[in-house]
């Protein structure tokens, strides 16, 4: 199994951070995860439990396509996805913290293809580095666009 976790403390209230992440997910996700080449909704309408999306990623030159479903949508608290064609889970948690929001990100991949098992350590390191980079980029984007006093 491959797991990665990261956090960011963002200088905005949970409702605003959640809206940026969840309500504008299709538009904003590629902005904090630049490996995403294409992000599209398969299900029409806003994100909610049951909503399905598709992404195309290019990670270290390897292009992958995956579809995923929203399995938890708890306003300003938690957003969780599960892969439909790959055994992965992604969770975002949003917690108030002294006037800010602590965003926790967790990624789990149940198994790798047999040919990738040889690279398990590399895949784990890459997943952790990607998680940390994404949370850093999410913090920068949100604080630049939503923090009080920003023109």
pLDDT on residue 33: 92
pLDDT on residue 150: 45
Q: Are 104 and 7 in contact (CB under 8 A)?
A: yes
pLDDT on residue 109: 84
- Write out the residue range of the structural domain in which residue 100 sits: 2-146
Q: Exposed (0-12), middle (13-18) or buried (19+): which is 101, by Cβ within 10 Å?
A: buried
Q: How many angstroms separate the CA atoms of 16 and 71, rounded? A: 21
Within a domain: 151:
no
Mean pLDDT, 10 residues at a time, over the chain (151 residues)? 93 94 94 93 96 92 92 95 93 95 93 55 79 96 78 42
CATH of the domain at 75: 3.30.530.20
Within a domain: 123:
yes
Within a domain: 101:
yes
pLDDT on residue 51: 98
Count of structural domains within the chain: 1
pLDDT on residue 151: 42
**Residue 3's closest CA among 119, 135, 120, 106?**
106
């Amino acid at each position: 199994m491959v797991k990665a976790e990261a956090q960011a403390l963002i200088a905005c209230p949970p409702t605003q951070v959640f809206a940026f992440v969840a309500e504008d997910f299709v538009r904003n996700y590629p902005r904090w995860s630049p490996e995403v080449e294409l992000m599209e909704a398969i299900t029409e309408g806003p994100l909610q439990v049951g909503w399905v999306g598709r992404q195309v990623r290019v990670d270290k030159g390897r292009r992958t396509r995956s579809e995923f479903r929203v399995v938890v949508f708890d306003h300003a608290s938690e957003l969780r996805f599960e892969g439909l064609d790959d055994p992965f889970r992604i969770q975002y948690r949003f917690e108030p913290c002294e006037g800010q929001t602590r965003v926790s990100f967790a990624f789990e991949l149940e198994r790798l293809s047999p040919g990738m098992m040889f690279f398990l350590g590399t895949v784990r390191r890459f997943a952790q580095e990607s998680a940390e980079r994404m949370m850093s980029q999410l913090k920068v984007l949100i604080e630049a666009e939503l923090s009080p006093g920003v023109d």
